[in-house]
């Protein structure tokens, strides 16, 4: 039938036009590929995709991780600058929650709630979640913070203008303004160590192996094993940040 | 072509050339190579100096202490958990001294009684457990159950 022939040629034309248009568009948009193609887990299994695990059930709240982080990365010693820190959560029998973190836990913790009032208490170590859809990276107006191809969120100190937008944008409170450099500073997942095959300083000193650093792309790696054997959650999953910091034993009260 | 356009074209051309020159000087080297950032910054982040030497770095020279530590309950601890960052010491052991944390409060960071600590962690009441002596006067920090008294 005649109409069928016309229909077919029209369909072919549309198909070809769409293909040509697509090619043209990708060619033109190629310079903007940083915006178009955010980093994702590499399909090549030999490429790294760094992540982190924290086992709350094993954390004894000694605060050595927070201390080691400051020592390794020359973070100011004053008690308000942290790349990582430990929070003490105490859920009382009446349902209220008390969260404390005196000096990030570096000087140790004391339980300030009397034992008979405690329903549940535990420690939650916090640090950068190294999200792969990072709100902080999206907020940066100059491109001074970025996600590396292996999934680490880093800061370009020389390029940061200290505008503090990213500090506001991070839903986990993991950034601070360095008082001397006046630029933003945050956990680099000890990028200088992990790229030399070492583990991070906080993992190095953890006495109970509550912290696990590893490669999510390595099927036989320690982190993948940890995720297989435990029921892990990320913080604030509803924000769809693409967090790669996995907690075992995370209580619903943890913010 | 209308004469107005003819006079404007060189002006626009000049603007574009100026813009390109300014852009050349303002956009740093390697910006945009992989994304909307300075690619060289990755290498700069990698270059930073390490302060922690790592778990195996001490055993070469302190094999006795390493063996002691392995043999007892503190086997999960790293030397640097207590002694602090040791990279500089491994390079210059004679000049760079590490701290030896002998205060009761230091052991207390991990062992003081606290309802938040998990049950497996052995805890003591700091104020009641032999209060007027340092922990290391009785316990060997590397082998806590090697009691000295």
pLDDT tens digits for range A131-185: 999 999 999 999 999 999 999 999 999 999 999 999 999 999 999 999 999 999 9
Q: Does B57 touch chain A (CB under 8 A)?
A: no
Compare B25 and A10 and report the one with higher pLDDT.
B25
Residues A73 and A182 grouped into a single domain:
yes
Q: Does B30 touch chain A (CB under 8 A)?
A: no
Contact A143 B37 (CB under 8 A): yes
Sheet holding A84-92, edge to edge: A97-100, A84-92, A118-127
- H-type alpha helices, A79-205: 135-139, 165-169, 191-194, 201-205
Task: Check pLDDT > 70 for residue A99.
Answer: yes
Domain count, chain A: 2
Say how far apart CA A83 and CA A66 lie, in whole Å.
8
**Closest-approach residue (CA) in chain A for B126:** A110
Residues A9 and A56 grouped into a single domain:
no
Q: Are A172 and A149 in contact (CB under 8 A)?
A: no
Q: Which of A2-6, A9-13, A104-108 has the lowest mean pLDDT?
A: A2-6
Q: Does B52 touch chain A (CB under 8 A)?
A: yes
What pLDDT, on the 0 to 100 scale, is given for residue A34?
A: 45
What pLDDT, on the 0 to 100 scale, is given for residue A30?
A: 53
Mean pLDDT, to the nearest integer, of A48-74? 96
What pLDDT, on the 0 to 100 scale, is given for residue A10?
A: 79
Residues B105 and B94 grouped into a single domain:
no
Listed residue (A54, A122, A49, A111) closest to A84, CA to CA: A54
Task: Check pLDDT > 90 for residue A107.
Answer: yes
Residue A71 has its nearest CB partner, among B34, B45, B84, at: B84
From B16, B31, B47, the end of a domain falls on: B47
Q: Which of A44-48, A58-62, A242-246 has the lowest mean pLDDT?
A: A44-48
What pLDDT, on the 0 to 100 scale, is given for residue B99?
A: 93
Task: Check pLDDT > 70 for residue A28.
Answer: no
Mean pLDDT, to the nearest integer, of A44-51? 92
Beta strands in chain B (DSSP E): 139-140, 143-147
Residues in B touching A143 (Cβ below 8 Å):
31, 35-38
Q: How confident is the model at residue A23 (pLDDT cuts 50, 70, 90)?
A: confident
What pLDDT, on the 0 to 100 scale, is given for residue A83?
A: 96
Residues B105 and B149 grouped into a single domain:
yes
What residue numbers bound the domain in which A13 lies?
Answer: 2-32
Give me the torsion for CA of B39, B44, B50, B54, rounded to 10°.
20
Distance from CA of A203 to the nearest CA of B (A): 10
Task: Check pLDDT > 60 for residue A33.
Answer: no
Q: Does B92 touch chain A (CB under 8 A)?
A: no
Interface test with B, best of A29, A64, A213 (most B CBs within 10 A): A64
Residues A58 and A163 grouped into a single domain:
yes
Residues A224 and A243 grouped into a single domain:
yes
Q: How confident is the model at residue A1 (pLDDT cuts 50, 70, 90)?
A: very low
How many residues belong to chain A?
Answer: 255
Residues A23 and A53 grouped into a single domain:
no
Residues A175 and A49 grouped into a single domain:
yes
Say how far apart CA B101 and CA A190 lie, in whole Å.
25
Say how far apart CA A82 and CA A75 lie, in whole Å.
7
Q: Does B78 touch chain A (CB under 8 A)?
A: yes
What pLDDT, on the 0 to 100 scale, is given for residue A27?
A: 63
Say how far apart CA B92 and CA B89 lie, in whole Å.
5
What residue numbers bound the domain in which B43 lies?
Answer: 3-47
Residues A18 and A131 grouped into a single domain:
no
Listed residue (A205, A212, A157, A208) closest to A181, CA to CA: A157
Task: Check pLDDT > 90 for residue B79.
Answer: yes
Residues in A touching B43 (Cβ below 8 Å):
none
Say how far apart CA B66 and CA A1 lie, in whole Å.
88
Contact B116 A122 (CB under 8 A): yes
- Model confidence pLDDT, tens digit, residues B19-70: 999 999 999 999 988 888 999 999 999 999 999 999 889 999 999 999 999 9
Residues in B touching A191 (Cβ below 8 Å):
45-46, 48
Instruction: Report chain A's terminal Cα–Cα distance, integer Å.
Output: 67
Q: How confident is the model at residue A85 (pLDDT cuts 50, 70, 90)?
A: very high
- Helix (H) or strand (E) holding A16, with range, is helix A2-29
- Model confidence pLDDT, tens digit, residues B81-116: 999 999 999 999 999 999 999 999 999 999 999 999
What pLDDT, on the 0 to 100 scale, is given for residue A8?
A: 76
Residues A25 and A57 grouped into a single domain:
no
**Contacts of B131-139 spanning 24+ positions with Cβ under 8 A:** B134/B102, B134/B103, B134/B104, B135/B102, B135/B104, B135/B107, B136/B102
**Cβ contacts from A onto B, under 8 A:** 133
Q: Are A86 and B81 in contact (CB under 8 A)?
A: no
Residues A131 and A20 grouped into a single domain:
no
- Position A107 in a domain: no
Residues in B touching A62 (Cβ below 8 Å):
109-110
Mean pLDDT, to the nearest integer, of A194-199? 94
Mean pLDDT, to the nearest integer, of A209-229? 95
What pLDDT, on the 0 to 100 scale, is given for residue A176?
A: 96
From B98, B118, B135, the end of a domain falls on: B98
Interface test with B, best of A59, A86, A108 (most B CBs within 10 A): A108
Q: Is the dihedral angle over the CA atoms B63, B65, B70, B71 positive or is it negative?
A: positive
Distance from CA of B136 to the nearest CA of A (A): 18
Say how far apart CA B94 and CA B102 lie, in whole Å.
21
For chain A, the maximum distance between any two Cα atoms, rounded to a whole number of angstroms, is 88
Residues A19 and A69 grouped into a single domain:
no
What pLDDT, on the 0 to 100 scale, is given for residue B39?
A: 94
Domain count, chain B: 3
Integer angstrom CA distances of residue A146 from A166, A170, A192: 11, 13, 16
Residues B91 and B112 grouped into a single domain:
no
Contact B35 A62 (CB under 8 A): no
């Amino acid at each position: 039938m005649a109409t069928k022939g016309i229909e077919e040629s029209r369909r072919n034309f549309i198909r070809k036009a769409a293909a040509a248009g697509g090619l043209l568009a990708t060619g033109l948009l190629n310079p903007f590929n940083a915006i178009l193609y955010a980093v994702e887990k590499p399909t090549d299994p030999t490429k790294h995709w760094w992540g982190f695990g924290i086992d709350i059930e094993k954390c004894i709240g000694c605060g050595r991780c927070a201390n080691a982080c400051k020592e390794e990365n020359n973070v100011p010693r004053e008690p308000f600058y942290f790349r990582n820190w430990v929070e003490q959560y105490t859920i009382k029998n009446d349902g209220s929650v008390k969260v404390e973190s005196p000096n990030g836990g570096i000087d140790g913790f004391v339980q300030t709630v009397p034992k008979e009032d405690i329903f549940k208490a535990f420690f939650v170590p916090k640090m950068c979640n190294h999200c792969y859809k990072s709100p902080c990276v999206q907020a940066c107006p100059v491109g001074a913070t970025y996600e590396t191809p292996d999934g680490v969120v880093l800061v370009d100190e020389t390029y940061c203008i200290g505008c503090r937008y990213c500090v506001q944008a991070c839903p986990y409170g993991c950034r601070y303004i360095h008082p001397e450099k006046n630029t933003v500073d945050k956990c680099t997942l000890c990028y200088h160590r992990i790229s030399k095959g070492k583990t991070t300083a906080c993992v190095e000193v953890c006495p109970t192996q509550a912290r696990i650093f590893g490669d999510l792309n390595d099927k036989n790696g320690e982190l993948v094993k940890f995720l297989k054997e435990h029921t892990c959650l990320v913080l604030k999953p509803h924000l769809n940040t693409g967090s790669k910091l996995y907690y075992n034993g995370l209580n619903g009260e943890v913010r | 072509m209308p004469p107005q356009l003819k006079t404007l074209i060189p002006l626009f051309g000049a603007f574009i050339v100026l813009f390109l020159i300014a852009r050349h000087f303002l956009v740093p080297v390697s910006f945009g190579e992989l994304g909307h950032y300075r690619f060289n910054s990755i290498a700069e982040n990698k270059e930073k100096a390490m302060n922690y030497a790592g778990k195996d770095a001490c055993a070469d020279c302190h094999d006795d202490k390493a063996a002691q530590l392995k043999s007892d309950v503190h086997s999960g601890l790293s030397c640097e958990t207590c002694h602090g960052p040791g990279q500089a010491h491994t390079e210059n052991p004679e000049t760079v001294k590490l701290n030896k944390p002998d205060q009761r409060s230091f052991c207390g960071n991990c062992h003081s009684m606290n309802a938040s600590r998990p049950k497996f962690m052995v805890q003591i009441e700091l104020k009641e457990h032999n209060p007027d002596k340092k922990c290391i006067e009785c316990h060997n920090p590397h082998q806590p159950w090697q009691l000295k008294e």
